[in-house]
A and B are shown apart, each in its own frame.
Chain A
Amino acid sequence: MAAAVISMTTAALDWVSVVFDAPLARAVVFGVHIDGHLVVEVLLIAVILFQLTRKSYKPPKKPLTEKEIDDLCEEWVPESLHPPITEEMKVEPPTLESAAGPHTVIDGKKVVNFASANYLGLIGNDKIIDSCVASLEKYGVGSCGPRGFYGTIDVHLDCETRIAKFMGTPDSILYSYGISTIFSVIPAFCKKGDIIVADEGVHWGVQNGLYLSRSTVVYFKHNDMTSLEGTLEKLTRGNRQAEKIRRYIVVEALYQNSGQVAPLNEIMRLKEKYRFRVILEESHSFGVLGNTGRGLAEHYGVSIEKIDIITAGMGNALATDGGFCIGSARVVDHQRLSSSGYVFSASLPPYLASAAVAAVNYLEDNPTVLTTLRSNVSLLWKGLSDIPGLTIASDPSSPLVFLKLKKSTSSSKCDLELLNKIAEKALREDSVFVVSTKRSVLDKCHLPVGIRLFVSAGHTVSDIKKVSDSLRRVAALVLAEHI
């Protein structure tokens, strides 16, 4: 029985192999002996290839038809161009009817003016006005072109040389508007991938420059050197790439938002330790700090070459408009082609450049004006030291005196309302013009709001007494329920 099964299976297998081998049994193609199993393998490969070439099933992608796009466009409702107008937006600032000197005229009344950053009292100075008149008669008002296209007038070049000589740097570069200086300088040097460490209390111009530069920005606590050191340490520790990336510290010499003065000696020590470059914004300290008004570097006795870039607006102590930037020759030359506010904008009107030269000459010839300014500031400090509800938050050497509420309410909006009431009452009843902090919605600074007084060398002792008495009286009235 077993033998029969075995013989049957062998016969079947023999039959199968004959069938397989039969057609190609003795076929020799290209010298290769073809076996039957090759046919099966070739068929399998053909089937696999066929399947691979078939497209996999995807649900068909239908782009939007014209009608659907039309419907979407019909349905879309845009927001209004402006948000609803609140009552605060409708408030207009007081209109001056004369020059913004230490005394000015508002609504026909003479008021004592503490709202203009006229630190050296140069508004109304005869020498400056005479040089402006000569300039106007020779050059007209505007310069009618950017610096690259016949907008460079010889007074601009004279102004740049004069400022560079005054500050002791090789060269300087002039900008046509104070606020555009810093937001053109920062993007010219800081690009994507650089690291910037900035104070959280910098003003909007600096913030805009930092945003436009597209670098990585890290803020440290306002004027707090331990926080700065901690941030620098964190950024450079263990980071091997740090050597190849450009790193900057951006600070203001005298902060507009709080009146604090940056401790430059500390910053220089940290800068040298961690190898950062410093960009210093000196709009409110140029012409004010230091024995001869040369700014924060002189105030702290630091040599000017050690600070990489200094920018300043001339709309404060120098009583003109525009701005400048100083640094090494390389720094200044680089800006002449890559700083957008310099290349793509019309240049400074020539009469303002002459005014700047005259103002710098005045400052150099009369350093006693700074002593007057400083004594005015200390007198004002004495007068404001005992105001109920308000405390002085600025630095003793700063002519921008900043008063903030001793006890702040829950929101800065309510704080601002109280402060506005104080400022408005002081103007209306005592003819003393002081101003509260103005913040735009776009500003990222969250420092406390306050009342600002700009002390000038042109103020007299009686002016200062008047403003201290007035604020004492008005603050007591307005903040009575609040304390």
Chain B
Amino acid sequence: MVRLPYSTALTTLFSYGLLFAFGQLRDLFRKIIDWFKSSSEDLKGYAPICLGLEDFYTRRLYLRIQDCFCRPIASAPDAWFDVVERYSEDSNKTLHRTSKTSKCLNLGSYNYLGFAAADEYCTPRVIESLKKYSPSTCSIRVDGGTTDLHTELEELVARFVGKPAAVTFGMGYATNSSIIPALIGKGGLIISDSLNHNSIVNGARGSGAAIRVFQHNNVAHLEKVLREQIAEGQPRTHRPWKKIIIIVEGIYSMEGELCPLAEVIAVCKKYKAYIYLDEAHSIGAVGKSGKGVCELLGVDPADVDIMMGTFTKSFGSCGGYIAASKEVVQYLKDTCPAHVYATSMSPPAVQQVISSLKVILGEDGSSRGSQKLAQIRENSNFFRCELKKMGFEVLGDNDSPIMPIMLYNPAKIPAFSRECLKQNVAVVMVAFPASPLLLARTRICISAAHSREDLLKGLEVISKVGDLVGIKYFPTEPPKHETKVYKVE
């Protein structure tokens, strides 16, 4: 729960108001100047490709702080990486690359188990499969794009997650966008959490079903919405709904919170709705053996109808999967557009997932998997605890490797980012439209590749910059003298 101090809300609103006013003033001057200059003949008769107000935010707000986003890197996104330096000659309107890089601590990439860089077990096998199968099959899965690697991966994923069958796709975003229309259509109802990811929203819109939203993580509200909707039926005709699917995520990427899965499943069972769980950030990162939110919260995977996940975050590859019962997977293989029309997943990427899954399961003959899992849990809990002690407002639950630190004021976004970069720590800023307008934040992603020294350096820099920028909204705890033991379950 975000607790926004009253004075901060006022100053944030004032800042945005000022920015908006200046932006409008500049637009006015731009219009006057353009009126004097004649427009080119080619575009006469065509409506402009971007109407005035649509990209107001881009032109007047985002461009000022453009150097905090899209920073290019010149090495693997490991615990430490090389950030390419950029300069601008026209106050951030265009940025130019230089060939200089600076080595920074990476607190922004989704590299939960440390598979991002070259790994001693995975990389040789990936290179072997690259030489055997080439970077691409140039074909869709149902034509000639299914290799034995793909079949092996699907069996392995199904076994790992605990479901009877699975199907994999080349991109996580496309998985959500094309599975949801295949499962539900006009006459169905989708009830989704208010903070669901854009891919789920796109998939829900593309399906043609009715969409209702329930308050984030509020199971009582979910039950209320369900009861109302079942009683009322479809809008205007009041026919009963064909089916109802409830979509939740394992860990929400902008809040770092877990979803109350056990209660949600209880509600779904009571009202006979289907549940779709998106584990993009939680698979491989939480749970004793990395099996995700179900393992962490003690839920039986058989109770969740459809489990979706991606391979980008914890497995250091690309793509997504769906795990469900055999019949559902068979039906999806026949209908889902991402399976029937899209190029199959690149074979080296498939091999990377297979190898990293084997490491996590311990089937490579070493205990690196369980070490990584213990390391990320310990790292996350230590970091979050220390940040809270320093007085920052940190969101998210324990055990979750994502921790957003609230900033609120728009001016603190570039200040925090640039000051951290000067001290060689790379952080990620989240502003509108990825988060609500008043609730700008910086998001830290912890990895198993971070060592204790890395974390301490990160904490030191964040504390210094936090003092400079003024985001320690809560009183600091005085340092205790006994060492705390972090429970690892």
Chain A interface residues toward B at CB < 8 A? 64, 68-69, 72-73, 76-83, 85, 88-90, 92-101, 104, 113, 115-118, 123-124, 128-129, 132-133, 136-145, 147-154, 156-157, 176-180, 183, 189, 191, 203-205, 208, 211-212, 243-247, 275, 277, 308, 313, 315-316, 319-321, 330-331, 334, 336-338, 340-341, 343-346, 348-349, 351-352, 355, 433, 435, 438-443, 454
Q: Hey, what's the 0/1 contact readout for B313-345 against A, CB within 8 Å counting as 1?
A: 101111000000001101111111110111100
| Nearest CB of A to B418, in Å | 15
Alpha-carbon gap, A80 to B184, bound state (A)? 10
Most buried by A among B70, B78, B127, B327: B70
In the bound complex, residues from chain A placing their C-beta under 8 Å from that of B111 are 144
Residues of B within 8 A of A64 (CB): 231
Given A141-B317, A243-B45: A97 touches B343 (CB 8 Å cut-off): no
Q: Provided the pairs A115-B143, A143-B77 are in contact, do residues A355 and B135 lie with their beta carbons within 8 angstroms?
A: yes
> In the bound complex, do residue B305 and residue A140 qualify as a contact, i.e. CB atoms below 8 Å apart?
no
Q: Which of B49, B62, B71, B227 contacts A337 (CB 8 A)?
A: B62
Task: Please measure, in the bound complex, the distance between the C-alpha atom of A183 and the C-alpha atom of B181, giving whole angstroms.
Answer: 14
Q: Return chain A residues, CB-CB under 8 Å to B240.
A: 76
B439 within 8 Å of A (CB atoms):
no
Determine how close the nearest CB of chain B comes to the CB of A82; give it in whole angstroms: 4
Known: A76-B272, A100-B134, A355-B135. Is A140-B47 also a contact (CB below 8 A)?
Answer: no
27 contacts between A and B (CB under 8 A): A69-B231, A78-B273, A81-B243, A81-B306, A98-B132, A100-B138, A115-B139, A132-B135, A136-B118, A138-B118, A142-B116, A149-B428, A150-B77, A150-B81, A151-B77, A152-B72, A245-B47, A247-B47, A321-B135, A321-B170, A351-B348, A352-B136, A438-B340, A439-B340, A440-B335, A442-B182, A442-B335
A78 to B243, alpha carbons, bound, how many Å? 5
Q: Known: A153-B74, A205-B341, A442-B181. Contact between A344 and B173, CB under 8 A?
A: yes
User: Which A residues are CB-close (under 8 A) to B126?
Assistant: 136, 141
Given known A-B contacts A133-B127, A355-B135, A211 and B231 have beta carbons under 8 A apart = no
Q: A152-B70, A204-B341 are in contact. Are A346 and B312 (CB under 8 A)?
A: yes
Type the 1/0 row for B129-167, where 1 means its CB is closer than 8 Å to any CB of A: 011111111111111111110110000000000000000
Residue of B nearest to A156 (CB): B72
**Residues A116 and B137 in contact in the complex (CB < 8 Å), given A136-B348, A183-B177, A438-B142:** yes
Apart from A133-B131, A246-B47: 5 A-B pairs, beta carbons within 8 A = A129-B130, A178-B342, A179-B174, A277-B49, A438-B340
Interchain Cβ contacts within 8 Å, total number:
352
- Hey, which chain A residues are within 8 Å of B119, CB to CB? 140
The 3 lowest CB-CB distance pairs between A and B, nearest first, are: A315-B343, A115-B144, A177-B171
- Least CB distance from A454 to B in Å reads 8
CB distance from A124 to the nearest CB of B (A): 6
Do B130 and A144 have beta carbons less than 8 Å apart? no
Chain A residue contacts of B143, Cβ below 8 A: 93, 115-116, 435, 438
**Bound Cα distance from A132 to B318, whole angstroms:** 16
Interface string of B173-217 (1 = CB under 8 A from A): 110011001110000000000000111001001100000000000
Contact B117 A78 (CB under 8 A): no
Residues in A with CB closer than 8 Å to B97 are: 154, 157
CB contacts (< 8 Å) of A116 on chain B: these are 137-139, 143-145
Q: B121 within 8 Å of A by Cβ? A: no
Asked whether B244 is an interface residue with its Cβ less than 8 Å from the other chain, the reply is yes
Tell which of A73, A128, A145, A153 touches B231, judged by Cβ atoms closer than 8 Å.
A73
In the complex, chain B residues whose CB is within 8 Å of the CB of A349: 317-318, 346, 349
Residues of A within 8 A of B474 (CB): none
Interface residues on B, range: 35 or more
For the complex, give the distance between the alpha carbons of A88 and B119 in Å.
42
Q: Is the CB of B333 within 8 A of A89?
A: yes
**Complexed CA–CA distance, A319 and B130 (Å):** 13
Least Cβ distance of B318 to chain A in Å?
A: 5
On chain B, the residues within 8 Å of A340 by CB distance are: 173, 198-199, 202
A208-B139 contact in complex given A99-B134, A144-B109, A246-B47, C-beta closer than 8 Å: no
- CB-CB under 8 A from A100, the residues of chain B are 133-134, 137-139, 144-145, 147
Q: Is the CB of B131 within 8 A of A129?
A: yes
If the complex has contacts A89-B331, A123-B138, A247-B47, are A141 and B348 also in contact, measured as CB distance less than 8 A? Answer: yes
Which A residues touch B146, using CB under 8 A? 92-96
Q: How many angstroms from the CA of A299 to the CA of B46 in the assembled complex?
A: 26
Check: B299 CB closer than 8 A to any chain A CB: no
Bound complex: CA A243 to CA B363 (Å):
65
A341 to B109, CA, bound (A): 18
Quick one: which of A83, A97, A137, A319 contacts B147, CB cutoff 8 A?
A: A97
Is the pair A177, B170 in contact by a Cβ cutoff of 8 Å? yes
Looking at the complex, which one of B205, B206, B331 makes contact with A83 (CB distance below 8 Å)? B331
On chain A, the residues within 8 Å of B148 by CB distance are: 95-97
Once the chains bind, are A440 and B49 in contact (CB under 8 Å)? no
Asked whether A95 and B127 contact (CB < 8 A) given A76-B240, A78-B242, A154-B84, the answer is: no
Instruction: Give the Cβ gap from A118 to chain B, nearest Cβ, in Å.
Output: 4
A113 and B144 within 8 A (CB): yes
Give B228's nearest chain A residue, CB to CB: A69
Is B486's beta carbon under 8 Å from chain A?
no
Q: Is the CB of B352 within 8 A of A148?
A: no
Q: Max chain B CB contacts within 10 Å: which of A115, A205, A315?
A: A315
The answer to whether A150 and B182 touch (CB under 8 A), given A88-B334, A117-B138, is: no
Measured CA separation A88–B81 after assembly (Å): 50
Chain B residues within an 8 Å CB radius of A247: 47
Instruction: Check if B55 is an interface residue, CB within 8 A of chain A.
Output: yes
Specify which chain A residues have a CB less than 8 angstroms from the CB of B25 in the assembled complex.
none
Q: Flag whether B73 is at the interface (Cβ < 8 A).
A: yes
The answer to whether A443 and B241 have CB atoms under 8 Å apart is no
The answer to whether B151 and A123 have CB atoms under 8 Å apart is: no
| B75 close to A (CB within 8 Å) | yes
B274 contacts partner chain A, Cβ-Cβ < 8 Å: yes
Q: Does B230 contact A (CB under 8 A)?
A: yes
A150 in contact with B108 (CB, 8 Å): yes
Q: Which B residue's beta carbon lies closest to that of A433? A: B144
In the bound complex, CA of A208 to CA of B318 (Å): 22
List, in ascending order, chain A residues with CB within 8 A of B49's CB: 189, 246, 277, 308, 330-331, 334
Tell me whether A177 and B174 are in contact in the complex, defined as CB-CB below 8 angstroms, given that A157-B97, A275-B45 are known contacts. yes
A145 in contact with B348 (CB, 8 Å): no
Cβ–Cβ contact A139 & B76, under 8 A: yes
Closest partner residue, chain A, to B139 (CB atom): A116
CA separation between A351 and B348, bound complex, in Å?
10
User: Which of A115, A137, A148, A346 meets B69, CB within 8 Å?
Assistant: A148
Chain B positions 94 through 134: 1 when the CB is less than 8 Å from some CB of chain A, otherwise 0: 00010000000010111100011111001100110011111
A144 CA / B310 CA spacing, docked (Å):
11
Smallest CB gap from A125: residue in B: B134
Interface membership of B426, Cβ < 8 A: yes
